[in-house]
Amino acid sequence: MLKEDVVEKIMRVKEAKKAVILAHYYQEDEVQEIADFLGDSLELSRKAAGVDSKIIVFCGVHFMAETAKILNPGKKVLIPVSGAGCPLADMANPYVLDKLKEIHPDAAVVCYVNSPVSVKARSHVCCTSSNAVNVVRSLPHEKIIFVPDRNLGSYVSQQVPEKQIIPWSGFCPVHQSVSPGDVLELKNRYPAAPVLAHPECPPEVLKMADYVGSTSGIIKKAGETDSHILIIGTEKGVLRKLKEENPCKMFYLLSESLSCGDMKKINLEDVLRALEKEEYSVEVDSETARKARYSLDRMLEII
């Protein structure tokens, strides 16, 4: 089927079923183009919390669709490819977290949304890369178990030095793949270009960055800066939005390795099939979902 035909069918079925399509900035361009709402993790969580439609088609990775389901237990949340996971989220383990909580009974658990529902359910509050610093600052606890991203945890620890951060050892293989050598190479070519990086990048890279922020933070910063050439340290899907909003600026990706294979699993045919067959429905055990929702609601209240 031609791309235009698939898009037309998606629009027709979506309208007939009164569905809404949410997509993350790391999705393929063709998927971003048909989304009703595009955002980073925090924006998508907020949007998911207020959606009216009976069906949400979530184009992202599994933990994001799961978050949408927890926030909308009465709605049908569909992920077009069931195997679109997040290796970072898979590095968080609920039983190891239980042990860590036993060792540090006075610590609060702050859980990055890139984690399974079982880990969210054992946490005091969730956070995303947009609000991690503010979430940690808002807690009365001096000790914080931060799970599962060690790079975001280390960034938070630098921003909130008055707290003791007990880190987890997880990492995003995509953002972890960039090195100070990549920064030096691009800085050699474009010495005046600022480096905008996601906090999942290694600390040595973040130290060399001019701005550290979430995907939406990077998009906002790129629009505000006077520089016409920018170096981008996050997943390459974001380039679509950056170019659309800044047609006169040039964007260079810190490394070609900044491509998330899981985010790229969904294509237009998958979205159409998801709408037509209403698959793959995301299901979460109601008791675990209730506990995880508490951590998510606390996050949404704080910021």
Partner that binds at residue 262, options ligand SF4, ligand 13P, none, CB closer than 5 to 8 Å by kind:
ligand SF4
The distance of closest approach from Cβ of residue 201 to ligand SF4 in the complex, given in angstroms and rounded to an integer, is 11
Distance (Å, whole) CA 169 – CA 92? 9
Write out the two tokens for 288: 């675990």
The distance of closest approach from Cβ of residue 153 to ligand SF4 in the complex, given in angstroms and rounded to an integer, is 14
Report the site for ligand SF4 in 238-277 (rule: CB under 6 A): 260, 262-263
Distance (Å, whole) CA 194 – CA 198? 13
Partner that binds at residue 215, options ligand 13P, ligand SF4, none, CB closer than 5 to 8 Å by kind:
ligand 13P
Write out the two tokens for 238: 């974001």
- Kindly state whether residue 214 participates in binding ligand 13P, applying the rule CB under 6 A: yes
Place of tokens 């088609």: 57
Question: Site map for ligand 13P, 112-151, x if CB under 6 A?
Answer: --x-------------xxx---------------------
Distance (Å, whole) CA 44 – CA 24? 7
Give the residue with the Cβ less far from ligand 13P, 93 or 214.
Answer: 214
The distance of closest approach from Cβ of residue 65 to ligand 13P in the complex, given in angstroms and rounded to an integer, is 13
**26 CB-side CA count, 13 A:** 24
Give the residue with the Cβ less far from ligand 13P, 27 or 114.
Answer: 114
The angle that helices 286-302 and 62-71 make with each other, rounded to 10 degrees, is 90
Question: Site map for ligand 13P, 162-201, x if CB under 6 A?
Answer: ----------x---------------------------x-
The distance of closest approach from Cβ of residue 88 to ligand SF4 in the complex, given in angstroms and rounded to an integer, is 4
Give the residue with the Cβ less far from ligand SF4, 194 or 199.
Answer: 199
The distance of closest approach from Cβ of residue 87 to ligand SF4 in the complex, given in angstroms and rounded to an integer, is 5
Cβ pair 127, 187 in contact under 8 A: no
Transcribe 94-138 into DSSP letters: HHHHHHHHHH-TTPEEEEESSS-HHHHTT-SEEE-TTTHHHHHHH
Place of tokens 């919390």: 49
Give the residue with the Cβ less far from ligand 13P, 163 or 241.
Answer: 241
Q: In 10 A of CB 210, how many CB atoms?
A: 14
In the chain, at which residue ranges do the beta strands (DSSP E only) sit?
19-24, 37-39, 55-59, 76-78, 108-112, 125-127, 143-147, 164-167, 195-197, 211-212, 229-233, 250-253
- Kindly state whether residue 27 participates in binding ligand 13P, applying the rule CB under 6 A: no
Contacting residue, 66, 182, 235, 270, with ligand SF4 by CB under 6 A? 235
Site residues for ligand 13P per CB under 6 A: 40-41, 114, 128-130, 172, 200, 214-215
Site residues for ligand SF4 per CB under 6 A: 61, 86-88, 114, 172, 174-175, 235, 260, 262-263
